[in-house]
Structure 1
Amino acid sequence: MKRTRTTVIDIARAAGVSKSTVSLVLQGSPLVNEATRAKVSAVIRELGYVYNRSAANLRQAKSGIVGIVVNDLTNSFFAELAVGMDMVVQSAGYVQFLANTGESVDRQREVIASMREHGIAGLILSPARGTQISDLKPLIDSGIPVVLVVRNLPGAKVSSLLSDNYAGTLQAVEHLVGLGHRRIAFMGGYADTAVFEERVRGYRDALMRAGLPSGDDFIFNSAPSRAGGVAVVEKMLLRAERPTAAVCFNDAVAFGVCDGLRAARMEPGVDFGVVGFDDVIEAKTAVPALTTVSVDPQGMGQRAAQLLLKQINSERAEPEAQLLSVRLVVRESSGIGKNVRNREEHA
């Protein structure tokens, strides 16, 4: 009777761990704790499994798969980003392997390990909060090209594609100042991300240029989501002195801010100016249509995929950093400045 070959799945089942964890152990990854490594190694010995590294490398070299890992696929920005990437990788003969981490670093490690097991040719990653450079080390050491998109990891020796977050909020605040607003808030976003820091820096510098206070009292943190936007409006309404307009961390927050304002019987674009960031497809058709900083998510996805393919097709590709320009798209939600002074006096 012919003996069935032991597989990684057999080891995972016997050790009570995921297939990705077994792969990490086989690759000698430092991401696995010692107790788990010992348990998996014991099962490997017991079942007599032999890791064919040459075959694994061969699978990877011939791979037609590109990995794409994003931190929040519930945000339509990332869905549009992924569509742009798919347009490019598909036309180049690759298949997109898409995963969402939901801002979990542990989940991110698992999906990246799984992608490596499937032999991806390269990876585009929008890192989850708390991602460290060490999390990318197994990829870098194995020679798999990596492109960071939306969020950067300073010091990581990989390519990156980012939008000009600083210039975007600078333009947004200057627009609101030009409409007569003097109390302008920044709403939404996690304070421990580089994107937040860059956008808030643009917000503060624009206020300073206009001779206005730094805005520290009007920075409202929340999840970068529609629900987060509703929550920050509730916080704002508790203030004795309220802003009359806001630059939002992204369009999702801006939509939530509009919802929160309506719940408080305030009309976006009339009683309160709202500016978003991203210019997702819904921004143009929202009521009121959303004034926002246009990043062109699909175009950004296309550029990221093109950069990755360039890395894949180059034998010795040097890390490349690209900063994409942005522009303010003025629509109805920021208002036209009418009666701004009167609103400020009664806010």
Structure 2
Amino acid sequence: MAKERVTVVDIARAAGVSKSTVSLVLQGSALVNEATRAKVNAAIRELGYVYNRSAANLRQARSKIIGIVVNDLTNSFFAELAVGVDAVVQSAGFVQFLANTSEKSERQREVIASMREHGVSGLIISPARGTEAADLAPLVASGIPVVLVVRDIAEAGVSSLTSDNHAGAMAAVRHLIERGHRRIAFLGGFPDTAVFEARMRGYRDALREAGMPALDELVIGSAPSRAGGVTAIEQAMMLKDRPSAALCFNDAVAFGVCDGLRARRLEPGADFAVIGFDDVIEAKTAVPALTTVSVDPQGMGERAAELLLKQIQAGRAEPEAIVSPVRLVVRQSCGGTVERRVKEISS
């Protein structure tokens, strides 16, 4: 009777480890510690397992799939970004797999692992809060091309595409100062993200440039969502000396700020100036139309996809860091005229 073929499952059982750990040892991965590696190799020798490398290579062959992982799909910015990615990858013969992490790093690890199992050719990632360079190390080691969008991670060793958040915030606050506002708030956003830090720095630099104090009481963080905007403006309205205008972390927060103002029978644009950040589709059709710093989310998705495809076609992932210019789109929510005006912003 022929001897049954020894499988990876048999090795895992004999070594007391997971199947995936055995696979990593067979692939020579540096992610497995030496003690575990020795235990697995001992089980391989004992059971007489023969690694079929050609079959493994076939299983690991890259597909025509691009993975896109975003941190908050409830924000329409990311839906527009995904549309931009899809337009480019589809024309190149790829399809995209979209996953939402809801700002959970554990979920991010799970979806990235799943996409790798499906042999994705590359990944576009807007990292969840708290993501560090070490979290991306396995991707870098695997050679899979990666492009980070919206949020960059220092020393990650992968390409990134971000917006000029500092210049955008400065232009927005300068505009409010030009309109006579002296109590300008910064509302919304998580303070532990690089995007918040850059926009906050632009906000403070514009105030200092005008000889105005950058007061901590006027900086009110919250979830970067519509509900977060309502919460932030409620706190701002409880200040003894209320602000008359606000730069909001993003458009979602700005829409919530407008909701909160109306709940107090204050009209955005007429009674309180509001500026958002992103310029999502709804910004133009909102009532009043939202003044905002335009990041062009769909265009960002297109550029990220082009950068990723270039790396895939080149067969290597040379890191590039691209900072996209932004522009201030002046509409009615900050008391502007009906006519739409656009100011180009330079760093």
TM-score by length of 2: 0.85
- 1:235 is matched with which residue? 235
- 1:124 is matched with which residue? 124
Write the distance in 2 (CA, Å) between the matches of 1:298 and 1:200: 24
Matches within 5 A, 1:309-320: 309-320=309-320
1:207 is displaced (CA, Å) by: 0.3
- Give the 3-state SS of the residue equivalent to 1:153 in structure 2: coil
- Give the 3-state SS of the residue equivalent to 1:222 in structure 2: coil
Write the distance in 1 (CA, Å) between the matches of 2:141 and 2:278: 34
- Percent of pairs with identical residues: 74
1:292 is displaced (CA, Å) by: 0.2
Contact residue 71 and residue 128 of structure 2 kept, 8 A: yes
- Give the 3-state SS of the residue equivalent to 2:189 in structure 1: coil
- Give the 3-state SS of the residue equivalent to 1:131 in structure 2: coil
Write the distance in 2 (CA, Å) between the matches of 1:113 and 1:49: 26
Contact residue 9 and residue 19 of structure 2 kept, 8 A: yes
Q: 1:238 to 1:310 in 2, by over 3 A?
A: same
Q: Which runs of 5+ in 1 are unaligned?
A: 13-17, 338-347
Q: Which runs of 4+ in 1 moved over 3 A?
A: 2-12, 18-33, 47-62
Write the distance in 2 (CA, Å) between the matches of 1:279 and 1:217: 27
Write the distance in 1 (CA, Å) between the matches of 2:5 and 2:288: 62
Contact residue 230 and residue 257 of structure 1 kept, 8 A: yes
Contact residue 66 and residue 123 of structure 2 kept, 8 A: yes
1:25 is displaced (CA, Å) by: 8.5
Matches within 5 A, 1:68-147: 68-147=68-147
1:331 is displaced (CA, Å) by: 0.4
- Give the 3-state SS of the residue equivalent to 1:199 in structure 2: helix
Tell whether 2:259 aligns with 1:259.
yes
1:215 is displaced (CA, Å) by: 3.1
- Give the 3-state SS of the residue equivalent to 2:190 in structure 1: coil
Contact residue 20 and residue 114 of structure 1 kept, 8 A: no
Q: 1:237 to 1:311 in 2, by over 3 A?
A: same
For 1:213-246, what per-residue CA distance to the aligned partner results, in whole angstroms no more than 9, with x for missing partners?
A: 0132200000000000000011112211111000
- Between the two proteins, the alignment pairs up a number of residues equal to 335
Write the distance in 2 (CA, Å) between the matches of 1:75 and 1:8: 42
- Give the 3-state SS of the residue equivalent to 1:144 in structure 2: coil
Tell whether 2:308 aligns with 1:308.
yes
- Give the 3-state SS of the residue equivalent to 2:147 in structure 1: strand
- Give the 3-state SS of the residue equivalent to 1:156 in structure 2: coil
Instruction: Give RMSD over aligned pairs.
Output: 3.5
TM-score by length of 1: 0.85
For 1:293-345, what per-residue CA distance to the aligned partner results, in whole angstroms no more than 9, with x for missing partners?
A: 001100000000000000001134421111100000000001149xxxxxxxx
Contact residue 21 and residue 110 of structure 1 kept, 8 A: no
- 1:163 is matched with which residue? 163
- Give the 3-state SS of the residue equivalent to 2:258 in structure 1: helix
Write the distance in 1 (CA, Å) between the matches of 2:177 and 2:22: 56
Write the distance in 2 (CA, Å) between the matches of 1:257 and 1:20: 48
- 1:299 is matched with which residue? 299
Q: Which runs of 5+ in 2 are unaligned?
A: 13-17, 338-347
Q: 1:31 to 1:305 in 2, by over 3 A?
A: same
Write the distance in 2 (CA, Å) between the matches of 1:224 and 1:240: 25
1:29 is displaced (CA, Å) by: 7.3
Contact residue 20 and residue 110 of structure 1 kept, 8 A: no
Write the distance in 2 (CA, Å) between the matches of 1:9 and 1:229: 51
Write the distance in 2 (CA, Å) between the matches of 1:274 and 1:19: 54
Contact residue 21 and residue 113 of structure 1 kept, 8 A: no
Q: 1:283 to 1:4 in 2, by over 3 A?
A: farther
Contact residue 72 and residue 102 of structure 1 kept, 8 A: yes
- Give the 3-state SS of the residue equivalent to 1:299 in structure 2: helix
- Give the 3-state SS of the residue equivalent to 1:332 in structure 2: coil
1:62 is displaced (CA, Å) by: 3.9
Write the distance in 2 (CA, Å) between the matches of 1:100 and 1:7: 35
Write the distance in 1 (CA, Å) between the matches of 2:51 and 2:70: 30
Contact residue 29 and residue 138 of structure 1 kept, 8 A: no
Q: 1:23 to 1:305 in 2, by over 3 A?
A: farther
Contact residue 89 and residue 95 of structure 2 kept, 8 A: yes
Contact residue 288 and residue 332 of structure 2 kept, 8 A: yes
Contact residue 330 and residue 336 of structure 2 kept, 8 A: no
1:5 is displaced (CA, Å) by: 9.5
- Give the 3-state SS of the residue equivalent to 2:288 in structure 1: coil
Question: Which amino acid in 2 is paired with 1:188?
Answer: G
Question: Which amino acid in 2 is paired with 1:278?
Answer: D
